[in-house]
Amino acid sequence: MKALCWHGKGDIRCDTVDDPTIEDDRDIIIKVTSCAICGSDLHLMNGYMPTMESGDVLGHESMGEVVEVGKGHSKFKVGDRVVVPFNLACGECYFCRKKLFSLCDRSNRNAKKAIEVMGHSPSGLLGYSHMLGGYAGGQAEFLRVPYADFGPIKVPDGMDDDQVLFLSDIFPTGWMAAENAEIEDGDTVAIWGCGPVGQFAIQSAWMMGAGRVIAIDKVPERLEMARTHGRAETLDFSDVKIYDALMEMTGGRGPDRCIDCVGTESDAGASADAMLDKAKAALHIGTDRPHVLREAIFSCRKGGTISVPGVYIGMLDHIPFGAAMNKGLTLKMGQTHTHRYLEPLLQKVVDGDIDPSFVITHRASLEDGPDLYKSFRDKEDGCIKVVMKP
């Protein structure tokens, strides 16, 4: 089959690889009908995530039609259309029973590697490094879905792929980001990053009662989407000093809730801390570029909440923890517990409360994938979200 494969920093190719096969009774194989490129995939492309190997199949936002089921599998049958959550969860362990699905204790078959780095292992992820399970991803014609009797959700008849594909990741991620921000009615919510995750965090913040949403980025079409579709006030970080602007907009108090939808690769032009991060990353003596996290902690009002859906990877330097402590901030974060949100957010789509397809700017084939990875990374050609139809 054809699949998008990682071959090193900046090198993604559309290769021919072996078709997946059933490896466990609980598995299903799907014929992928739609898959998307995520901001998290850029961390792989840009070489920030360790334990990638040449030839690894990428992709963790996929849906499709069931073509084969494992012997012991009874939930789906051949022909069902399903959306697949990006994290793998067994549904039975201590963490799954607590609904902390992205922390499933069983699904990372390479947990030892993760434990060495993090003390404990999060769940396995599709298409996201050997440290997180070494599972082939779904930017491919076919995908093996482990723990498929627990993870995927069946698509109701009459709904098209574009309406439901983002249940796999970015809609639940934006939603959990807003939930973690502990928004109270009328709160001012500042959201860094107007990529796909930021756009869904904006939508979710309104649905949870925000009184004001301030969205921050520098990419014109992303800011425009935040203004028009997201009804947010916007700030261009290449234009204004974000802390000063936020203080001015909130009478000096600061936003009540701050959401970092940027993560490890924040861009911050010529600010001193960002230049230092970039230099350290280039010399492999720094793992992350956490400018946005610093800015959010600095800007957040006293007693406010910082929610971090943006992915961080290693040892972050110069985090103003003293400010966070003395200002009494709450910090909440994590990979999304996607399984928790599948049913309720599908219901919102069915009810017409939201049509997640608003974020799609590019539709293509798998063969176009390597070029579109570049457009998405470089924010060229108005690219905000790429959906591929293998």
Ligand X SMILES: NC(=O)c1ccc[n+]([C@@H]2O[C@H](COP(=O)([O-])OP(=O)(O)OC[C@H]3O[C@@H](n4cnc5c(N)ncnc54)[C@H](O)[C@@H]3O)[C@@H](O)[C@H]2O)c1
What residues make contact with ligand X under the rule CB under 6 A?
38-40, 42-43, 169-170, 173, 192-198, 216-219, 222, 237, 261-263, 266-268, 291-292, 309-311, 335-336
Question: Closer to ligand X at the Cβ: 33 or 168?
Answer: 168
Query: Quick one: tokens of 312?
Result: 């961080």
Query: Please, which of residues 72-101 interact with Zn ion by CB under 5 A?
Result: 89-90, 93, 96
Quote the least distance from Cβ 45 to ligand X, whole Å.
11
Query: Please, which of residues 237-276 interact with Zn ion by CB under 5 A?
Result: none
Quote the least distance from Cβ 106 to Zn ion, whole Å.
5
Query: Quick one: tokens of 164?
Result: 């439901």
Pick what 193 binds: ligand X, Zn ion, none; C-beta below 5 to 8 Å, kind-dependent: ligand X
Comparing C-alpha atoms, which of 6, 101, 97, 1 is closest to residue 48?
Answer: 6
Beta strands in the chain (DSSP E): 2-6, 12-16, 28-36, 56-57, 61-69, 81-84, 142-145, 153-154, 188-192, 212-217, 233-236, 257-260, 305-308, 330-333, 362-364, 386-388
Neighbours of 7 (CB within 10 A): 15
Pick what 309 binds: Zn ion, ligand X, none; C-beta below 5 to 8 Å, kind-dependent: ligand X
Quote the least distance from Cβ 353 to ligand X, whole Å.
21
In Å, how far are 88, 182, 256, 347 from 202, measured between CA atoms?
Answer: 26, 14, 15, 19
The DSSP output letter for 321 is H
Give the Cα separation of 286 and 274 in Å (integer): 12
Give the Cα separation of 225 and 358 in Å (integer): 9
Question: Closer to Zn ion at the Cβ: 313 or 323?
Answer: 313
Quote the least distance from Cβ 235 to ligand X, whole Å.
8
Distance of CA 92 to the CA centre of its chain: 24
Q: Is the dihedral of CA 372, 374, 376, 378 positive or negative?
A: negative
Work out whether 338 is an interface residue with Zn ion (CB under 5 A). Answer: no
Pick what 12 binds: ligand X, Zn ion, none; C-beta below 5 to 8 Å, kind-dependent: none
Which member of 30, 35, 104, 246 binds Zn ion (CB under 5 A)? 104
Pick what 57 binds: ligand X, Zn ion, none; C-beta below 5 to 8 Å, kind-dependent: none
Quote the least distance from Cβ 242 to ligand X, whole Å.
7
Which member of 4, 5, 38, 383 binds Zn ion (CB under 5 A)? 38
Give the Cα separation of 83 and 209 in Å (integer): 28
Question: Closer to ligand X at the Cβ: 126 or 216?
Answer: 216
**Residues of this chain that bind Zn ion (CB under 5 A):** 38, 40, 89-90, 93, 96, 104, 106, 169
